[in-house]
Chains A and B, each alone.
Chain A
Amino acid sequence: MNQRRRAWREILLTAPSFGWLVVLFVVPTLVVFAIAFKPPDALGGIGHGWTLGTWRHLGNPNYPAIIWRTLWMSLVTTALCVLLAVPTGYCMARAPRRWRQPLMLLVVVPFWTSFLVRVFAWKTLLHPDGALKRLLVALHLVADSTSLLYRPETVLLVLVYTYLPFAILPVYAASEKFDFSLMEAAQDLGAHRFRAFVSVFLPGIRRGLLTAVAMVLIPALGSYVIPDVMGGTNSEMIGNKIAQRTFVDRNLPHASALATLLMLAVLLPLALYPLFAGRNNDQKPDRKEVA
């Protein structure tokens, strides 16, 4: 009797979120996979029967270039974010305790302001008549005719800007728990400061680094707005093609096949994550109090 009531209660508590997510997350994802194997019809809808035609079409010279660009832009963004996040997270964790909270707020606040506003801010800053351009021209760093906008580098810059807080926060969280006396010990034993940083500190915050990589890489792979607003046709990513196939060409099977491909690209790093994260025992048992 009691067993049964317990089971009922569990179902009662689980059903609302479970049901909602099955209907509005699992089913639509499966619909996308299915439509990738359907032929399009002339009216922008979905035809009858099944086909691999869409997949064969992805071999067309257009797509490999975009897929390749999506991968390298996301990987470079991730690398740059982590490179900037490591010294920042380290510095924040070593700052006096009363400074840590304000420093964290400083990192998080830009991330709370509207995403579109931040992207637009860069557009203003890099505008051909903008202050930055004029400064660079005055310093003879760029020619007057060079555009700072609509280039792959611009997209990369704004991607790094947008996802940097996602990398800093996990690195900081891991550094905060790191026992810095280990670094002192390494230095006492004769290790150079940099050597201690690389061989003691970085392995110590490995999980934080991996989380940072995942937090940047996954949304970067799915970028749509940033290449759309900041880039030209030479900086399109898979996300732009998905939107274009959905809204402009109205070729839903094509959009679905690209979406499936993107999904695989996202799942791959997630599947590899446990391999790198390793066993639990490298985490420090002496957890410091987190503010």
Chain B
Amino acid sequence: MSASRRSLFPVAMTALVLLFLYIPILVLILYSFNDGRFSVRWDHASLKWYRRLLHERAIWHALRNSLLIAVTATLTSTVLGTTAALALHRYRSRLQKVHYGLVYAPLVVPDILAGMSLLLLFVACGVQLGMSTIYLAHVSFCVSYVTMVVLARLQDFDVSVIEAANDLGANTWQATRYVLLPLLLPGIVAGGLLAFTLSLDDFVITFFVSGPGSTTLPLYIYSMIRHGNPPLINALSTLLIAVTFLAVWGSQRLLAKQRKDG
């Protein structure tokens, strides 16, 4: 195939799209090092806003809440999602058809509907809004994501390994515990990581079901955007972006290493 038959248009569009995706982020990072009181006028480089950030106790409290909810919601939704995926993969009954619909539906419902309906349920049942309601809400949307990730892994799975284990005398429990789960672990971990990041980043659903004293990091950032100090948000955002990039870089390194070893 000759190069002359390829158009340059898609390449140019891709470059523009990538530029479009990154420019706001780069501008934000740049401004976070700006000393000026009005973040948009550049004065000179400084780490002032980062130092100020360290002394903002409410941020650390919000971060603690976010992590607490993310860890507990991830653990619960990983267990629920894995059992759901095993059931969906193993059985072909009418019950599983309904089950699949039930797991799939939350993925297509906009956040605002999920948040509002949970709020109405909690209010109708007289449940006090707070950390526990946020936890319940987060598990509810994470389960579907974990299930889909684990299910995808199961569909690539070689069933003959389980049959071999059974032939060698393992009962169902042993085959599941010592053969299936270890082989499934990468899928379970991937699902759990997805749940963790979704929980950590969720704003809309949390906004509806949070109560006094349960401010999470996204809720805090939102109130800062509405009423707060822009340079401080720039600094906090830059730190969050740095964490994301480090996580991506780290996981890529790990993957590359695994590929080399395997």
Instruction: Using CB atoms and an 8 Å cutoff, list the residues of chain A in contact with chain B.
Output: 9-10, 13-14, 16-18, 20-22, 24-29, 31-32, 35, 84, 87-88, 90-92, 94, 103, 105-107, 109-110, 112-125, 127, 129-131, 161, 164-165, 168, 184, 187, 193, 214, 218-219, 221-222, 224-225, 229, 239, 242-243, 246, 252, 255-256, 259, 262-263, 266, 270
Contact = CB atoms under 8 A, between A and B. Distances in A.
Decide if the interface of chain B is mainly helix, strand, loop or mixed: helix
Contacts of B6: 94
A214 B79 CA distance: 29
Contacts of A28: 117-118, 120-121
B108 A106 contact: no
Contacts of B90: 10, 13
15 contacts: A17-B84, A17-B143, A18-B84, A18-B99, A24-B121, A113-B241, A117-B28, A124-B39, A124-B230, A125-B23, A193-B5, A222-B110, A246-B208, A256-B120, A262-B110
Contact of A266 (B103, B110, B137, B234): B110
A164 B21 contact: yes
A100 to B, nearest CB: 12
Interface string B100-127: 0011011011111110111111001000
Decide if the interface of chain A is mainly helix, strand, loop or mixed: helix
B38 interface: yes
A263 B28 contact: no
Contacts of B102: 17-18, 21-22, 25-26
Interface string B76-89: 00011101101100
A259 B116 contact: yes
A123 B218 contact: no
B96 interface: yes
B58 interface: no
Contacts of A121: 24-25, 27-28, 237
B136 interface: yes
A270 to B, nearest CB: 6
Given A17-B102, A106-B18, 6 more contacts: A25-B106, A88-B10, A105-B248, A109-B244, A112-B197, A124-B234
A67 to B, nearest CB: 15
Contacts of A255: 116
B140 to A, nearest CB: 4
Interface string B10-32: 11011001101111110110010
Contacts of B31: 124
